[in-house]
Amino acid sequence: MTWGVNHMNRISRSIASAFVAGGLALGLGACSDVADEAAKQVQEEVDKEVDKQISEEYQVTYEVTGEKVDSIEYNAGGGDASNPKLESVKNPTLPWKKTVTLRGIEAPSVMPLAVDLGDAAGKVSCKIVYKDKTLVEKSGAGAVSAAGCVAVSPIVG
C-alpha cells in the first residue's frame, strides 16, 4: 500500500505542477498581451508626433527694417525642409513685412541684403515672429550688410 500512496502523491504533484505551469503560461500570456498593447500605444503616439512634425502647418511673419536694402530672400513655403521654396523681393519698400505658411520642420528664414558702395553704410535688421513671439532677430551694418534670420520650426520646439 505504501507504493500506492507514493504513486498517488507523485500523480497529485504532477497534476499540481501541470496546473501551475498552465497558470504561469496563461499569466505570462496575459502580461505579454499587456506589454504588446502598451508597445502598440507608444508606437501610435510616436507616429502621431512624427506626422505632426512633418505635416502640421504654421504661420510666421517676416519683418525687415533698415536703409538701402537691395533684396530680401525668404522661405515662402511650398517646399520642404531639405528643399525650401525661396522667393525674392528686389528693392523692397521698408519697413517690409510678409506672413507665410510653412509646414512641419521647415525652417522659417529671411535674408535681407544691403549693398551700398557710397559713403553711407547700409543698415538692415530682420525678425521672425510666430504667434506674437519673436523667434529670432538679427541686425547688420556696413558697405555690404546682411542680417540673415533663420529659426527652428516652432512645431519642433
Q: What is the DSSP track for 51-115?
A: HHHHH-EEEEEEEEEEESEEEEEEE-SSS-SSS--EEEEES--SSEEEEEEEETTPPPEEEEEEE
Amino acid at 45: E
pLDDT > 60? residue 11: no
The length of the chain is: 157
Q: List the one residue out of 68, 65, 92 whose CA is nearest residue 144.
A: 68
What is the arithmetic mean of pLDDT over 137-156?
83
Q: Which three cell numbers stand for residue 111?
A: 535674408
Q: Who has greater pLDDT, 40 or 71? A: 71
pLDDT one-digit tens code per residue, 27-53: 555 567 777 888 888 787 776 776 666
Average pLDDT of every residue of the chain? 79
CA distances from 97 to 10, 61, 74 (A): 89, 7, 11
Burial class (CB in 10 A: 0-12, 13-18, 19+), 114: buried
SS3 label, residue 28: helix
Question: Does the domain spanning 57-150 belong to CATH 3.30.70?
Answer: no
pLDDT for 59: 98
pLDDT > 50? residue 123: yes
- The pTM assigned to this predicted structure is 0.66
